[in-house]
Structure 1
Amino acid sequence: MEDLLNFLKAIADENRLKILKLLLDGQYCVCQLEQLLDKSQSSISQHLNYFKELDLLKEEKSGKWIYYTVDRSVYDKYLAALISLKAESLAELNLSELQNKINNLDTAAEIKSETKGGCS
């Protein structure tokens, strides 16, 4: 679950989402990404580090340049984890405590009668 959360945090930034899209479609070095996104080298490198921490990038060295692309097998695993969220039980997601709370949750009618007016 933590890996999926980190993936979602990584793509929640507009610039990282743009970088992800570019790297899904092609192979780029940092200086090319700088030009395309009008960002500094340090900014691009910081954004790429998010993806590196998720093992989401493939690197290919050519001379003094490193070209980046998305590792589709890793990317597809994140997408599959996101899609399977609905299919998996809370226990499978290590959220058993939440399942216990759901099982013990008062009904809306019980809450209304206790609070004289509804949920607060």
Structure 2
Amino acid sequence: MEELLNFLKCIADENRLKILKLLLDGQYCVCQLQELLDKSQSSVSQHLSYFKELELLEEEKSGKWIYYSIDRSVYDSYLARLISLKASSLEDLNLAELKNKIDTLDTAAEIKSGSKGGCC
């Protein structure tokens, strides 16, 4: 679950989403990404570090340059986990505590008839 959350945090940033799209379509070095995004080298490198932490990057060294692209197998794995979220149980997602709370949650009718004066 934690890895999936980190993936979503990674792509939730506009610049990282742009980088993701660029790197899904081709290989770019930091200086090319700088130019395309109109960002500093340090900013681009910092954004790439999110992808590196998730092992989403493939690197190809050519002379003194490193060209980056997205590792499609890792990317597809994150997408598959997102798609299968509905089919996963709360226990599979390490959310057993939430499952226990759901099991003991009062129904809306019970809340409405209680002395608290209603739910929402």
2:67 aligned with 1:67: yes
Which ranges of structure 2 fall in alignment gaps of 5 or more residues? none
Identical columns (%):
81
Q: Provide TM-score, normalisation by structure 2.
A: 0.97
2:9 aligned with 1:9: yes
Output aligned runs, 1:1-120, within 5 Å.
Answer: 1-114=1-114, 115-116=116-117, 118-120=118-120
Which ranges of structure 1 fall in alignment gaps of 5 or more residues? none
Distance in 1 between residues matched to 2:64 and 2:92, nearest whole Å: 45
Q: CA deviation at 1:119?
A: 1.6
Distance in 1 between residues matched to 2:14 and 2:36, nearest whole Å: 14
Q: CA deviation at 1:5?
A: 0.3
Give per-residue Cα distances to partners, 1:69-104, cap 9 Å, x unaligned: 000000000000100100011011111111111011
Q: Provide TM-score, normalisation by structure 1.
A: 0.97
Secondary structure of 1:28's partner? Answer: coil
AA in 2 matched with 1:67: Y
Number of matched pairs: 119
Give per-residue Cα distances to partners, 1:42-70, cap 9 Å, x unaligned: 00000000000000000000011000000
Q: CA deviation at 1:24?
A: 0.3
Q: CA deviation at 1:7?
A: 0.2
CA RMSD of aligned residues (A): 0.7
Secondary structure of 1:66's partner? Answer: strand
